[in-house]
Each structure stands twice: as structure tokens, then as C-alpha cells.
Structure 1
Amino acid sequence: MMDSDGVSWLRGPILGKGAFGSVFLATSRNPKSRFFPPTMAVKSAEFSASASLQKEKEILNNLLGCPHVVQCFGDETTFGRNGEMVYNVLLEYASGGTLADSIKKSNVVGLPEHEVRLYTRCILEGLCHVHDCDYVHCDLKPDNVLLVPNKSGAGFVAKIGDFGLAKRGRQSKKHKFLSDYLRGTTMYLAPETVIDHVQELPSDVWSLGCVVLEMLTGQKPWNSLNQKLNSKQVLNLISDDKSLPEIPSGVSREARDFLKGCLVRKPWMRLTTEMLLYHPFVEGLDDQAFEVAEDEISEESSSSYEADSEFSSDCCYSSFRSEEEADYTVEDDDGLFQASSSPKMHRPSVIAIPADA
């Protein structure tokens, strides 16, 4: 059992569990420590099955320095009650849960557009850093975006988490097509990923567009016609060169234009993350603007998270893969679809994302 404490931290209640490990709440033995915050999330796996978790730790080390990527505070090997070795990674604790939690609470209405703009700017800042460090996230979705209190404590900022499926970018053509598997989640896969098995920087931009669309509508990107599609139907739509996620007429002109810059079927025609940072939809939202705008939503957000703290405990690990899902990577709410003549699916390489109880 993974019940051991670390040298500088104490393991608390479990926050999520899957086929490859568990995530626990953790507290620092020294609340005034310069190296650890008082509360953390510890992601743990038996050492013999921790290769993917060690890979994620390495990636997070390479991504240090960005305020919109989840922070990693180190790793440690401990021993369980039965003497088994356990590998642990200490991560930032997101008391706001995930973006998916926030969208779900909107009851299929979507988030206010000023809130969407704030979170989109945060995600873009994080994604720019990820791409500058030569990584492709490969699984950007609301479940993998964490909401962390800002410095003023008045609201939340968004941070990208769960890098278990991330890969190096800018691979040569020789290596681009070696994999017979897809990384990611069906609803957010880019057309070139489904059709050609290519996942590079523009693929993350497509996924970002899907996330923004979901924030605005409260619905999955391909479910906007009031019908819930299964994985096979979604993959067929993504493969159809005439299909695009529907952008509702009720959003602002700036939001619509931003989405059109992301949701372009040809990857070379999509705007880059750097270009999107200067788009009117998010431009000018610096840290000071974050605090001012978040004051408008903090009262509603804070009361919502307090009232639904039990709900968040159960749901903020919704991207956590169960034992039934352990043989695949491509997934959505309707289950898993393994293609025969279409792309096959990849075994997951991440156990969970840190979030709050």
C-alpha cells in the first residue's frame, strides 16, 4: 500500500486512483519550509511501474519557470507498508479543481466570456512556454487545466498539468510516422493526428480551440448539435475534410475570430501560440488585468467551489484513467474506440493530475 510519508512531507487522503497509481493530498512537515508549500498533491506509483511518472517529472523539470504550468517540487522514493518501493512526485495543489469542473458547474451554459478570456490567456502563456521548450502536450483538455488561486487570493488562474503524454516536438519526417497509436483524448484530437498520425505544435493549437469552444458553450466541441457522439463518430467527423466544430452565433466577434484561428483543418494555416497572444480576444490581459477582472468573478467562483468542495474531490481527477481504460490513450466520455483500419490507440503514460479535494 502507498501509505508511507516522505522525509519532508506527510501523505494525506487519496484524491484519485487509477490503473497506474494514485494521487494523494500531502502536507509539509515544516509549514514554514522554503522548499515546499504547506499543501501539495503527491502523485505516486509503485517503482516498478513508474517509468511514465518519472518521464513526466523530467518534463516538468524542463518546463520550470512558467507561472501557467503546474509546479513540481521534487520527487522521492518511499517504502510502503509491505516493503514495496514507491515513486512519488510532489506537485502544486490546485484548490480550484480543474477547468472541466468549472465548465460542468455551468450546466451546459458555458462560462462568462470575460472569464473565458482570462483562462484562455493563462493557457496560452503556458502553451507558449511548453512549445518554446520544444514539447508538444498532446492531451490539452479542460480536465488537464488546473485552477490555482492567484497571488491576491481573489480569484483563480489556469495552469496546464498532466504531461504524461507529452512528446518532443519538431521530429524529423522519418520519425513522425513511426507510431501506430494516437496520444490524447478523442474530442480534442487535431485532423492531422487522426488522419496522418502527426502531433506537432499546431496540434496543441487545435486542442486549445476545442477547449475555448467548450468554455464558451459548456458542451464538448463535437456535441454542439444537441447529440452526444461516441468516439467512432467523433473520429469520423475529425477525418471528414468538410467538418469543423460548430462555433455558436452568440459569442463575440473577437471570440469567433480567435476560434477560427485555431480550428483550421490545415495545420500550417493555424495561428501559432505567439500570434494568438496578440489576438484582441486575449491581448492586454497582463497580471494586473487578471487581478482586476478576477475581482468580478471571485465571489461567485469562491462560493461555488466552497459549496461544491465534495463534488470537486470526486470530479477533479476526471482525466484519471481507470483500469478499464488502461490499455488505451484515446478516450472520451462515451468510452474508448479502437480503430481497425483507422488509427490505433496508445497505452497511457500518466496516472493522474494534481487537483484539489
Structure 2
Amino acid sequence: MAVKSGRVSKSPELLMERTLLKIFGDCPFVIDCYGSDMTADAENKCTYNVFMEYADGGTMRDLIKKSGGCGLLEPQVRKYTGCLLKGLQYIHVRGCVHCDLKPENILLVSNSDGDFVPKIGDFGLAKFAVYKKKSSKEPACQGTAIYLSPEAVLYGNQEKPSDIWALGCVVLEMLTGRWPWDLEAGATLQDLQLLIASKVPTLPGWLSADAKDFLRKCFVRNPSERLEAEKLLNHPFVTRLDGLGEVKVEPLKKQVSAVPSSENCEKAGGSKPGDAEEILPLAVLYPGDSKPVILPTTVCAKPSNFAVTGVA
């Protein structure tokens, strides 16, 4: 069992996460929550504890690192993608958006067959979906910059389509063992935002036709035209294994130090590409204008307080 803890006065996101996990409790592709309690120290400071399912296979990030920068076998990725789509479908149908889908937040839990099932975890940044124009009073988007969608970095909009874009980034990373974006040495967070705002991740030529088509559908720049999880579940990349069958994932005996080629992806403030933080949108769309107007941008140089990491 894993325990996620935080001071009650400083961890409203942890309380929200517990609430959401209760809603998602019967989904086999979302990490399970066994309950919660509250403890107090000698100074009467209260700590909120959430008891969660233990991921004995580590995280998807661990598995990608284990590949040594080569990526996972495509049959593995196809199977994992189907599981993650089912998890996202379950989350979205219940009116929620994860907002921080990335390999670190995908946990591998063993099953009775000796295999590992990927489960979506860490709902500290999750929110309920909205179906109206974003208010100017709403905070900047939250999440991990390298997995953010164009609409998130441009306008601060994070709804269900943004989770699909992030899933595409995760799938590409599983297949290649590399970050979804190639940045030059010394690139800043704003450089990354400008890249996301104007381009889509490059797809290696050696990927299968199914993989390329699936990723292109995830990376549709217009969020209203991006396919939902339910429709992507019918894509051949997920439904067709080409006779390759099930692929078992060996347990991770230890965390491997090999890192995908990402040393050149440093962001402002020295934070890592995998860190979650608060990010201000690059642009606003004025009424009547057909193109976004790029504005000066201020970035948050340190990790957001929303990133609760107290897992034991």
C-alpha cells in the first residue's frame, strides 16, 4: 500500500484527489484508493493521509528508462494505450479532466496473470470539465509543460481534448524512449511553449502506419476536431495486434539511471521537463480576430504547490 500525505492547511488538492478517486473507484485503469485518515503531531498540526494501491511495477517513466532510450515494443504500447484510453474514457464520462497525464503518473500494478496493468494516478491537478468560455479570472493552466496541448499554452484552456493530446505525447514517448519534443540546448520554457503553439511532435519514419495514424489523430491542433477516448478505442492501433499477442512486462527490480535523451529540455528556473508547474498562456484571441496575438509571457520558474509528491 502507498500513502500520500500532506498538511491539511496546505493540501486542498490532496483532499480533492481523494474525492475523485472515490468517484473513480470501480475503474480497473485508475489507481485504487482504500481510504484516508487524519493525524496530528505534538503541535496539533494535522496531516491528511490517503491510502492507495501500491504500484509494484513502478511507473511508466521507470519502464521507459529501462528501455535505455529505445522505447518499448509496439505490442506493449498498443496494449497499454488501450488501457489508458479506457481509463480516460471513464474519467471524462464522469465530467473530469486529469490535466497532468504523463509517464510519471501512470502506475504499473501486477495482476493475477503475472502481468502489469497501467493505471492512471495522481489527480492533484484534476478538475471538473467546463462547457463555456474560460473566464479571465480563472488561474493559468496547470500541468507539465512538455505534455501540454496547443490550446493550453495559447489560451489556458484545459479540457478533455487536452488529455488526449497528452496521451499522444505519452504514446510517442513509450514508442521512442524520448521526450515528445526535441529542444535545443539551453531552450527555455517559453521556447517550448512557442513550439507547442505552432507545431506538432515529429513522428519517426520507422513507426508503423497504425501508430502514425493514431498519433496524428491525438495531435490534431484544433481541440474540437480531436477525437475523444471512446472513438480512439476503435482505432486499429488499439484493436489490432497483428497476431503479436499479449506481451508481459517484467517487474522492475530497481530504478535504472538511464535517461531518455532529454538533457537539452531544461526549462526556466532549472526545473526538469517532467515537473508540474503553473504556466501562463502565450496568447489571447480577441473578438473578431482570426489569428491569436502573441503577447509577452511571464513564466513560473519553480514547481507549483499543486504537485504533491509525498508517496511512501
The TM-score bracket by the shorter chain reads 0.7 to 0.9
User: What is the SS of the residue equivalent to 1:184?
Assistant: strand
Structure 2 matches for 1:62-141, cutoff 5 A? 62-80=23-41, 83-141=44-102
Residue by residue, what CA displacement relative to the aligned partner does 1:41-88 show, whole Å, maximum 9, x if unpaired? 011112222322111111111222110001111110123355432210
Match of 2:224 among 240, 264, 268: 268
User: CA-to-partner distance for each residue in 1:277-300, whole Å, 9 max, x for gaps?
Assistant: 000111268xxx99x613xx34xx
What is the alpha-carbon distance in structure 2 between the residues aligned to residue 228 and residue 141 of structure 1? 23
Q: Partner of 2:297 in structure 1?
A: 342
- Which residue of 2 is the match for residue 178 of structure 1? 137
Aligned pairs for 1:310-321 within 5 A = 311=255
Compute the displacement of 1:178 (Å). 3.1
1:162 pairs with 2:122: yes
Change (3 A) 1:194 1:78: same
Taking the aligned partners of 2:37 and 2:276, their CA distance within structure 1 comes to 34
2:195 matched residue in structure 1: 237
Q: Specify the code of the residue in structure 1 equivalent to 2:91.
A: V
The AA in structure 1 aligned to 2:105 is: N
CA distance in 2 between counterparts of 1:337 and 1:48 reads 20
Offset, 1:333: 5.0
8 Å Cα contact 2:143-2:278 kept in structure 1: no
CA gap of 1:42–1:246, structure 2 versus 1, over 3 A, is same
Q: Counterpart of 1:217?
A: 176
Query: What code does the residue aligned with 1:251 have?
Result: L
**In 2 relative to 1, CA 60–334 (structure 1 residues): closer, same or farther, beyond 3 Å?**
closer
Structure 1 unaligned blocks of 5 or more: 1-39, 316-324
| Cα-to-partner distance string for 1:212-251 (whole Å, 9 max, x where unaligned) | 000111111002x7868442221110122xx110000111
Q: Which residue of 2 aligns with 1:252?
A: 208
| Structure 2 unmatched runs, 5+ | 259-266, 281-294
Could you say which residue in structure 2 is the equivalent of 1:208? 167
On the 8 A contact 2:142/2:276 being kept in 1, the answer is no
Secondary structure of 1:127's match? helix
Q: Partners in 1 of 2:69 and 2:124 — Cα distance?
A: 29
Match of 2:153 in 1: 194
2:144·2:275 contact (CA, 8 Å) conserved in 1? no
Letter in 1 for 2:67: S
Residue identity (%): 41
In structure 2, C-alpha distance between the alignment counterparts of 1:334 and 1:97, rounded to whole Å: 18
How many residues align structurally? 285
Q: 2:273 aligns with which of 326, 332, 346?
A: 332
Which residue identity lines up with residue 205 of structure 1 in the other structure? I
| Match status 1:293 vs 2:249 | no
Residue deviations 1:93-125 (CA, integer Å, cap 9, x gap): 101111011111111111110111111111111
* Cα distance change, pair 99–341 in 1 and its aligned pair in 2 (3 A): same
- Looking at structure 2, the residues matched to 228 and 106 of structure 1 have their Cα atoms a distance apart, in angstroms, of 26
Amino acid at match of 2:202: E
Please give the secondary structure, in 2, of the residue aligned with 1:349. coil
SS in 2 for 1:75: strand
Q: Do the aligned partners of residues 191 and 169 (structure 1) sit closer, same or farther apart at CA in structure 2, a change above 3 Å counting?
A: same
Amino acid at match of 1:171: Y
